[in-house]
Amino acid sequence: MSPDDLLFGDEQAEASSEQPSVSTAPWPILVVDDDEQVHAMTRVLLNDFEFEGRRFAIVSAFSAAEARAILAERTDLPVVLLDVVMETQDAGLRLVHHIRRDLGNRHIRIILRTGQPGQAPERDVIVAYDINDYKSKAELTAQKLFTSLIGAVRGWRDLVTIETLNHSLERRVAERTAELERQTALADEQRRFIENLVEMMPSPVWYRDSAGRSTLCNRAFRDLFPDATDGIEWIVGAHGRTGTGTEAYSFETSVVGPDGDPRELLVVKRPLTAADGTAAGLIGIATDITERRRMEHELHRLATTDPLSGAHNRRHILDLLDRMLAGQGGAEPRPNVGPACLVMLDIDHFKRINDALGHAAGDAAIRSVVEEIRRHLRATDQIGRIGGEEFAILLADTSHTDGAAIAERLRSGLAALAIPLPDGRRFQLTGSFGLTDVRPLVDTVESVLGRADQALYRAKALGRNRVEQN
């Protein structure tokens, strides 16, 4: 396996970029010997040799001490040709020990040369002193010297390359470890931020894992359900449909708040899935829409109610009539809707009440009339103020005969009504009534109103305080 096989991807590219460019400088060979002729002869022997386009250059040291000084300054020396006996009988061996132990240099190739091989047994020396080759000076001919140097240079180069790659890998591992630690710290920080954010949210939030366990409920949820059991039961309960995909869905529901008052909630749920598509749980958020619903109801009341009388206003009572004519008892069509009646009521001589008793008495008369009429109506019947002292009364599912009877009761009730004034006085009034049938899917609002008005005008023309039919 080559050194490149140890790397992959950007590590290999980076390691390659760290390699020195191809050099043509000579290979430096450190010759350590106290004999000058050995240095000269080595130069002569290597003068004509090259390896990978580079010649060999001799770096001379004439003692072990001088070699130590050179080795302390240079780290580019691939090979040492080392004599054993110099200042002392074991100066060379001590230098080997210094290189390997003190300098920690395991790359440089050491070829031990001696003119007295018997003084240093080959096997013991090689094993004990980490020597790469052992030759006697007599056998180092030019060819053998070249062969030994080539093997040594190749070994040195391979070790340096491997170490460079190892350093690159170690640095990349350290960088990636630091990046992973940074990302982990960032993820932890983001997780804490999200947890704090969810906890601070004013809306109740919860999470159920794939096993159905409720593993998260924020402060707003706990405030809504101080009893944890109630909260868990509400989460698990059948609120809305069950999500089957990843799409969010919503629904409205009601709960009893911690103060005992009902709360209207808009609930949004979203099923969560893992990377492999399996269910990973469900997250939900509830928004309290109690106040919004109250405002909507109030706005609807204001939009459909006459502020003085509390009856429906003109637009709403006519809209109810229109829906009845369209065969709609509610939101859905009712093609077989039963008979119905419309009664128009006008307070007799209302202007006299205002002129004689004041507008406060007129307002009291209108409110009292509506109260008295409602006392005789069913839950399905409706009353609306058309304008001034005129009212429209819708009698649902009522035949003409029954409608006439109801109108007569209303007339009689108004005639018997005694309306109190703030000063203790009381006054009475009467009303004129016009009755007509409502024919769904046939009539229009205008046609029904027209017939009822005709009957009303006839009642007023015939003396008032009576019911006329059309």
> Is residue 398 a contact partner of residue 433, using CB atoms and an 8 Å limit?
no
In degrees and rounded to multiples of 5, residue 274 shows phi and psi of: -80, 175
What are the strands of the beta sheet with 50-51, ordered from one edge?
Answer: 50-51, 54-61, 27-32, 79-83, 109-114, 133-136
- Nearest Cα to 356, choosing from 432, 433, 419, 431? 419
In the Cβ-directed half-sphere of 167, how many Cα atoms lie within 13 Å? 10
- Nearest Cα to 61, choosing from 88, 92, 90, 89? 92
> Is residue 338 a contact partner of residue 395, using CB atoms and an 8 Å limit?
no
Rounded distance, CA 137 to CA 39, Å? 12
In the Cβ-directed half-sphere of 313, how many Cα atoms lie within 13 Å? 10
β-bridge mates for residue 78, sequence order: none
Tokens of 279: 């269910």
Return all residues near 210 (Cβ < 8 A) that are at least 6 apart. Answer: 278, 279, 280, 281
In degrees and rounded to multiples of 5, residue 60 shows phi and psi of: -100, 140
Question: Which is the catalytic residue, given 389, 390, 446, 468?
Answer: 389
> Is residue 240 a contact partner of residue 253, using CB atoms and an 8 Å limit?
yes
Rounded distance, CA 116 to CA 121, Å? 10
Rounded distance, CA 409 to CA 391, Å? 16
Task: Give the count of beta carbons closer than 10 Å to the beta carbon of residue 397.
Answer: 14
Rounded distance, CA 288 to CA 259, Å? 14
User: Annotated catalytic, 73?
Assistant: no
One-character DSSP codes across 220-245 = HHHHH-SSHHHHHHHHHS--SPPP-S
262-273 and 279-288 strand pairing = antiparallel
In the Cβ-directed half-sphere of 389, how many Cα atoms lie within 13 Å? 23
In degrees and rounded to multiples of 5, residue 261 shows phi and psi of: -90, 150
Q: Which residues are tagged catalytic?
A: 389
